[in-house]
């Protein structure tokens, strides 16, 4: 393939102008001649055509593409938002249902005249304590608060009389003496607690020593005088007496003893228990354990549960009452409606309050458990595969950025709220980014394809126009090239025929002109015929092994006396011992003549022309060098194309058809050779033809 070692660049030519020129020029440099004049019109055409073919569809594509990206992003965000809203609604419905069920259960029990204070966990599993308060907001049931904590049993430790009586009893001294000691200790006691206890211990001693009449008198006294007094450990004296006597009875006579114990349990359970160190639970439990082998097991289990429940409630009542006191004190004119629940959250308890008649009912729920349940519920309303995540926010905390929706847990949990946020905001953003990039990529690709398509069309149209124009030029050139030698020959022949040339010298000149012009004519006709045979595919060459040097030498000799070259300095150097080359003698001669005639045509008459031949790379190279106008860089790739003629004015001035090099290239190719050009505009060109040496096989006879 042709190549060029010398580069020529015009620093004043911008990239854009070069690009425009490249898109407009197509293949033929003929276009270049008109280019300047047509530049403006063409540029306008390009702009109109470009905007019609590239800009408009690209802009439309970009517009719809971008709006579809935005649409998709909004749809994705909407989808996540909808998921969040749905989850939040379903959470709130279920969450509310738990509380309204509780409220209804409480009112149901009250309406049915049953106490909501009994086993309140049945009303709501998180109830820790259920209380009834009176209009003064004092605890009324199932506990009371009148009981004062007794003084620590210091008297027991430091009163000598008590110590003496108790140690004598422990040692098992004579009952009469111990009884007297107890009696004295009782008389000397300063507090009813110790006094009643001393009387109780004395009565027990008497009872166990057979003095039952005296003992029961004392027990009666205790019941009457000290029944509600609590001993230093918080046991009610009447309960202690009842328990003791019932147990004694059980030891003597089963049934009445069991009945007495059962009555005792029923009495204790019906009574309000004391808040503080109330011994009711311990008494009831002990009585029940005595009864256990005798009583109906179902009753025992149910009663044990009631006792445990009451004891648990007592514990929580003691823990949480200060909080309830604070809430009630803080709500002077407590706005709680009859039969309507009012929810207030404290630090540990979540309180539900309602008036029923004269009584205020207060239910303390475990706030931690309520929150835990809410959290669990929140995590179940959003499936693990969902792209949203639920969180509970404590009072005063701000929802994180990007939260999708928020639901207040008021009125149940003051200040708390449930927030739904994207499960993974980073992943969501990344997902959106990837979708966007994919779409942008497709749009860019589509726009580039439109652009490439449009450009290719412009190029193709330009190329086709150029080739049509080149063919038209060729026809014009050939007819011009035919006419001028014919005219010359006719003119000179006429002048000889009519004897118009006077001198011998003039006549010689006429003959000479006729010969020169007919040589030109026959060369032209040869080329045109050859070319048309090549075009038709009818051209064949006879490749016969032979001395290429001799063939070239003969061709040079035939042409050097021609009119074109006779005046020129032609230097021919043919190397010795060149390898044999299978070649078509006429075709090679045609190549040499074409190259020499071009060298003469495109260089000044004063400049020499050189032909060199030498062995090169397993073959022979023929090199024709001139010092002529050279070939511009942009033309080099095209000079071997049919009909191509250089666009420069210096080329246009010279006669030509644009098929000489095309034929040369075809002939060299048919010989499996190669052509090469090195040219520098203004300095000259070197055309090289290379032919492979004959390998000793049968000569090819390649067709066209």
SS (HEC) of 243-281:
HHHHHHHHHHCHHHHHHHHHHHHHHHHHCCEECCCCCHH
Q: Which is nearer to ligand ADP, 333 or 606 (CB)?
A: 606
Q: Which stretch binds ligand ADP (CB under 6 A): 8-16, 390-398, 560-568, 637-645?
A: 637-645
- How far is the C-alpha of 328 from the C-alpha of 525, rounded, in Å? 126
Q: Which is nearer to ligand ADP, 345 or 657 (CB)?
A: 657
Q: Which is nearer to ligand ADP, 189 or 685 (CB)?
A: 685
Give the closest residue to 197 by CA, choosing from 164, 158, 241: 241
| 261 binds ligand ADP, rule: CB under 6 A | no
Crossing angle of helices 212-226/192-208, nearest 10°? 160
CA–CA distances in Å: residue 28 to residues 6, 172, 346, 577: 21, 140, 94, 42
- How far is the C-alpha of 28 from the C-alpha of 21, rounded, in Å? 12
Among 133, 588, 631, 678, binds ligand ADP (CB under 6 A): 631
- How far is the C-alpha of 316 from the C-alpha of 365, rounded, in Å? 10
* Helix/strand/coil for 32: helix
Site for ligand ADP in 43-102 (CB under 6 A): none
Q: Which is nearer to ligand ADP, 284 or 621 (CB)?
A: 621
Q: Which is nearer to ligand ADP, 513 or 659 (CB)?
A: 659
Among 26, 120, 485, 660, binds ligand ADP (CB under 6 A): 660
126 with 369: CB under 8 angstroms? yes
| 364 binds ligand ADP, rule: CB under 6 A | no
* Helix/strand/coil for 307: helix
Cis peptide leading into 142, omega within 30 of 0?
yes
Among 133, 381, 581, 659, binds ligand ADP (CB under 6 A): 659
The distance of closest approach from Cβ of residue 641 to ligand ADP in the complex, given in angstroms and rounded to an integer, is 9
Give the helix/strand (H/E) hosting 141.
strand 139-141
Q: Which stretch binds ligand ADP (CB under 6 A): 4-12, 32-40, 536-544, 596-604?
A: 596-604
| 651 binds ligand ADP, rule: CB under 6 A | yes
Q: Which is nearer to ligand ADP, 319 or 463 (CB)?
A: 463
| 524 binds ligand ADP, rule: CB under 6 A | no
Query: Which residue reads 């503080």 in tokens?
Result: 276
| 257 binds ligand ADP, rule: CB under 6 A | no
| 602 binds ligand ADP, rule: CB under 6 A | yes
471 with 658: CB under 8 angstroms? no
Among 150, 549, 628, 673, binds ligand ADP (CB under 6 A): 628
Binding mask 8-27 for ligand ADP (x = CB under 6 A): --------------------
Among 656, 667, 690, 694, binds ligand ADP (CB under 6 A): 656
| 590 binds ligand ADP, rule: CB under 6 A | no
Q: What is the DSSP string of 377-424?
A: HHHHHS-TTSSEEEEEE-TTPPPPTT--EEEE-TTTSTT-EEEEEETT
Q: Which is nearer to ligand ADP, 47 or 472 (CB)?
A: 472
* Helix/strand/coil for 363: strand
Q: Which is nearer to ligand ADP, 130 or 661 (CB)?
A: 661
Q: Which is nearer to ligand ADP, 279 or 628 (CB)?
A: 628
- Beta pairing, strands 143-144 & 273-274: parallel
The distance of closest approach from Cβ of residue 681 to ligand ADP in the complex, given in angstroms and rounded to an integer, is 9
| 179 binds ligand ADP, rule: CB under 6 A | no
Site residues, ligand ADP (CB under 6 A): 598-599, 602, 626, 628-631, 639, 644-646, 651, 656-662, 685
């Amino acid at each position: 393939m042709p190549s060029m070692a010398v580069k020529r660049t015009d620093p004043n030519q911008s990239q854009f102008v070069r690009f425009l020129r490249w898109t407009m020029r197509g293949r033929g440099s003929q276009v270049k001649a008109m280019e300047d004049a047509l530049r403006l019109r063409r540029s306008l055409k390009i702009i109109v055509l470009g905007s019609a073919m590239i800009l408009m569809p690209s802009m439309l594509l970009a517009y719809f593409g971008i709006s579809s990206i935005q649409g998709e992003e909004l749809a994705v965000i909407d989808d996540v938002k909808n998921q969040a809203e749905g989850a939040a609604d379903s959470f709130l419905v279920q969450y509310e249902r738990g509380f309204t069920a509780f409220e209804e259960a409480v009112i149901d029990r009250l309406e049915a005249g049953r106490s909501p204070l009994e086993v309140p966990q049945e009303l709501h599993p998180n109830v820790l304590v259920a209380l009834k308060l009176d209009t003064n907001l004092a605890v009324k049931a199932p506990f009371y608060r009148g009981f004062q904590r007794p003084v620590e049993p210091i008297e027991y430790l430091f009163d000598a009389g008590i110590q003496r009586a108790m140690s004598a009893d422990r040692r098992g001294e004579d009952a009469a003496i111990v009884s007297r000691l107890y009696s004295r200790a009782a008389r000397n006691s300063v507090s009813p607690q110790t006094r009643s206890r001393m009387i109780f211990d004395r009565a027990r001693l008497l009872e166990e020593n057979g003095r039952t009449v005296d003992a029961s008198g004392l027990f009666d006294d205790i019941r009457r005088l000290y029944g509600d007094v609590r001993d230093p450990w918080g046991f009610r004296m009447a309960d202690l007496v009842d328990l003791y006597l019932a147990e004694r009875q059980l030891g003597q006579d089963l049934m009445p003893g069991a009945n007495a114990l059962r009555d005792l349990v029923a009495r204790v359970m019906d009574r309000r228990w004391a808040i503080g160190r109330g011994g009711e639970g311990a008494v009831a439990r002990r009585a029940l354990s005595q009864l256990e082998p005798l009583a109906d097991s179902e009753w025992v289990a149910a009663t044990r549960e009631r006792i445990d429940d009451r004891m648990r409630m007592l514990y929580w009542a003691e823990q949480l009452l200060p909080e309830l006191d604070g809430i009630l004190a803080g709500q002077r004119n407590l706005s709680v409606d009859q039969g309507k629940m009012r929810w207030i959250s404290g630090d540990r308890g979540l309180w539900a309050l309602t008036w029923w008649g004269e009584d205020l009912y207060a239910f303390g729920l475990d706030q931690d458990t309520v929150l835990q349940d809410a959290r669990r519920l929140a995590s179940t309303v959003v499936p693990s595969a969902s792209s949203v995540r639920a969180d509970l926010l404590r009072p005063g905390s701000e929802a994180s950025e990007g939260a999708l929706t928020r639901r207040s847990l008021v009125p149940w949990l003051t200040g708390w709220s449930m927030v739904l946020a994207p499960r993974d905001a980073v992943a969501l953003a990344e997902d959106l980014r990837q979708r966007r990039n994919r779409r942008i990529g497709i749009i860019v690709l589509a726009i580039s394809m439109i652009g490439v398509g449009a450009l290719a069309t412009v190029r193709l149209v330009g190329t086709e126009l150029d080739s049509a124009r080149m063919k038209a030029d060729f026809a014009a050139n050939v007819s011009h090239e035919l006419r001028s030698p014919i005219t010359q020959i006719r003119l000179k022949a006429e002048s000889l025929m009519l004897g118009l040339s006077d001198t011998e010298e003039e006549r010689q000149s006429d003959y000479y002109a006729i010969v020169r012009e007919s040589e030109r004519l026959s060369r032209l006709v040869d080329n045109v015929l050859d070319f048309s045979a090549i075009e038709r595919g009818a051209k064949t060459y006879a490749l016969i092994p032979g001395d290429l040097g001799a063939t070239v030498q003969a061709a040079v000799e035939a042409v050097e006396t021609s009119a074109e070259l006779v005046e020129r300095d032609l230097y021919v150097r043919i190397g010795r011992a060149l390898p044999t080359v299978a070649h078509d003698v006429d075709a090679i001669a045609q190549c040499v003549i074409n190259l020499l005639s071009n060298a003469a045509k495109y260089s000044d008459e004063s400049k020499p022309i050189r032909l060199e031949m030498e062995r090169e790379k397993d073959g022979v190279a023929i090199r024709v060098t001139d010092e002529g106008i050279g070939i511009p860089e942009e033309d080099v790739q095209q000079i071997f194309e049919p009909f191509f003629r250089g666009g420069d004015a210096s080329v246009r001035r010279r006669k030509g058809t644009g098929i000489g090099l095309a034929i040369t290239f075809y002939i060299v190719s048919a010989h499996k050779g190669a052509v090469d050009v090195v040219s520098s505009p203004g300095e000259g060109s070197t055309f090289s033809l290379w032919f492979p040496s004959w390998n000793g096989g049968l000569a090819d006879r390649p067709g066209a």
